[in-house]
Amino acid sequence: MPETAKSLLEKLIRFDSVNPSLDSNGGGERAIGAYIVEFCRDNDICCRLQDVEGERRNVLASVQGSGPETLLFVAHLDTVPAPGWPRNPFEPYAAENRLYGRGSCDTKASLAVMLSALNSIKREKPRATIVVAGSVDEEYQKIGARALGMIEPRFSGAIVGEPTNLEMVVAHKGSVRWRIETTGRAAHTSIPENGLNAIEAMAEVVISLKRLNEDLRKRPAPLTGPPTLTVSLIEGGSDICTVPASCVISLDRRLVPGESPAAALHEVNAVLDALKRSNPHLQVKSIMPPAEDFPVSGAMATRLAEVTRRACQRFGGTGEPRGVPYGTDASQLSAAGIPCIVLGPGSIEQAHTIDEYVDIAQLDKAFEIYRSIMLDY
C-alpha cells in the first residue's frame, strides 16, 4: 500500500534540517535529501541531485511525460531554527487533527504531498514531465531556487509549495536588504565636543527613513499591499565612555510587483544624499552588495493558472487569485522567466512559530490538488 502523505510528513519532520546559515548547529539539508533519494529508489521514481554550493544539493524526483513541457513542483528542505519549544521540535505529534513539528507547514507538508502525488501518477503517463524538487536554503538566500532556475531547457511553469491554506497565490512581494553606516570621530565622553557622534547622526537617518516608509505605504498595490521599509537592526559604539565613531543599521525594503531592487536602493540613497547636503558634517553611506529577492507576478494569464484554479475549486480553496506580503522560492524562479504559482497546505500564521502545525485534513485536499495539476497540465 502506498505511503500516505501524513506518514511521509512525519518522517520528514524527524530530520533536523535547520538552515546552517541561520544556526551553525543546524542539521542542514543533507540527511533529509538522502532520505528523499531513498524514498524515490524504494518507489521506482527517477531521482537525481543538483549540486548547489559545497555539500548542499537540491533533490529532483521526476516522472516522464509524453509531451515536450516540464512542470516543476518545489518545496524547500530547510527550516528556521526552533528555540523555545516545550518539546522536541523534530518529533512529530498529532492532536486535534493537527500535526505538530518544526517544518510541519513550512514547508515539509507541501514536500510530502508533492512526493506522494508524484508517486501516484508514475504509471498514468502525464502529458508534461513532472519534476518534484526539494530545494536548499530557501530560508536564507534561496540559492537552491536560483540553481533550479538555471536548468535548461527551462521549466514551463512551477508550483511552489508554501502554506497558503490551499489558496492560489499569483503575486508576492520581493525584498532588498542592505546596511547603512554613519561614521563619526571617537572622543572621551567627558569632552564630547572633541568627537562626532555616529549614533546621533544615525538618528537623523532613521527619522528620514521613517518618513520615506510613510510615503511608501501610500502607494497602491492591490494584491500584495503597499511596499514597506523597515529598520530592523542597529549597532554602534565601542563602550559607554566613548563618543561612538561608527553606527550601522540594517534595512529590509519589501518590493511589490513592478518594483526593482535597484530602484529601491536609489530611492534610499537619494534620502541619504539630501541629508548630506543639509548637513556637511554627516558621513553616511550604503554598504553593498545588497541581498535581493524579486517580487513575483505574471502567472495570472497562463494555462498553469487555469489548471490550478480548476483543481482548487474542485478539491479545496476557492481558486481565486491571491497576493501575499512574504517571499518564497518563486522570487528566483520567476526572475529566471518561469511562471510561478504558490500553493500548499497550512497557514502562514503557523510558519516559524513555536508549536508549528499543519491541519491534517488539508494534506488530503492538497494531494488531490497537486495530483490534478500534474495530470491536467
Query: All 3 cell numbers of residue 210?
Result: 521613517
Enumerate the β-bridge partners of residue 248: 181, 235
Instruction: Give the integer Cα–Cα distance in Å for 74 and 55.
Output: 20
Return the pLDDT at 2.
58
| Torsion, Cα of 259, 167, 117, 110 (10° steps) | 60
Return the pLDDT at 264.
97
Among residues 186, 181, 180, which one has the least CA distance to residue 244?
186
Query: Do the Cβ atoms of 344 and 161 come closer than 8 Å?
Result: yes
Element (H, E) at 252: strand 246-255
Return the pLDDT at 37.
98
Instruction: Give the integer Cα–Cα distance in Å for 211 and 232.
Output: 16
Instruction: Give the integer Cα–Cα distance in Å for 310 and 321.
Output: 12
- Domain spanning 5-172+295-376 has what CATH number? 3.40.630.10
Return the pLDDT at 1.
39
The residues of the chain scoring below 70 in pLDDT are 1-2
Query: Do the Cβ atoms of 216 and 259 come closer than 8 Å?
Result: no
Q: Which residues contact 200 (CB under 8 A, 6 or more apart)?
A: none
Q: Which residues contact 273 (CB under 8 A, 6 or more apart)?
A: none
Domain ranges of the chain: 5-172+295-376, 174-293
Cis, bond preceding 2 (omega within 30 deg of 0) = no
Instruction: Give the integer Cα–Cα distance in Å for 257 and 15.
Output: 35
Q: Is the pTM of this model over 0.85?
A: yes
Instruction: Give the integer Cα–Cα distance in Å for 281 and 56.
Output: 47
- Domain 174-293 -> CATH class: alpha beta
Q: Residue 281 CB: number of other CB atoms within 10 A?
A: 9
Among residues 279, 297, 314, which one has the least CA distance to residue 222?
297
Query: Do the Cβ atoms of 59 and 145 come closer than 8 Å?
Result: no
